[in-house]
Amino acid sequence: MAGRPKGSAPYAWKFKDPFDHERHVAYGKAKAQADFRGEGWELTLDEWFQIWDRESWSRRGRGSLDLCMVRIDRERPFSFFNVKLVERFWQIARDKKSHIGNDRERPI
């Protein structure tokens, strides 16, 4: 249909509130990404909404001081008691620290 942006169909949204709709879409993307990476996912949509409330959602982003969700124990799936929100710089530093030496060749 001409005139309507692709994907814009508010009458078909599960959540009519744009804030809840945006979080619902992000939930689906996060779950799909975890599935793609082979990470477990046990978070329900209600739990996702509790974690990402209005205040934390307003701080979500890609900047170093923005919030992102990480697993506390990376061996366990994403679940309500195994995730926390952290500033992105913390997550990046943790990932770099855990990968030190992983790209080196193994001695024979």
Q: Is residue 20 part of a domain?
A: no
13/53: higher pLDDT: 53
Mind listing the pLDDT tens digit for each residue in 34-75?
Answer: 999 999 999 999 999 999 999 999 999 999 999 999 999 999
In a domain, 62, yes or no: yes
Query: What's the structural domain count of the chain?
Result: 1
Does this model's pTM top 0.85? My answer is: no
At 90, is the pLDDT very low, low, confident or very high (cuts 50, 70, 90)?
A: confident
- The sign of the dihedral angle between the CA atoms of 4, 33, 24, 53 is negative
Domain containing 85 equals: 39-99
Q: Is 47 contained in some domain?
A: yes
Residue 31 and residue 78: Cα distance in Å, rounded? 9
Q: Which of 98, 55, 107, 49 is nearest to 73 (CA)?
A: 98
Q: CA 22, CA 59: separation in Å to the nearest integer?
A: 14
- Is residue 108 one of the residues assigned to a domain? no
Asked whether residue 19 is domain-assigned, the answer is no
Average pLDDT in the 4-33 region? 77
Q: What DSSP string runs through 30-54?
A: HHHHHHHHT--B---HHHHHHHS-H
**pLDDT for res 95:** 77
Residue 92 lies in a domain: yes
Residue 15 covered by a domain: no
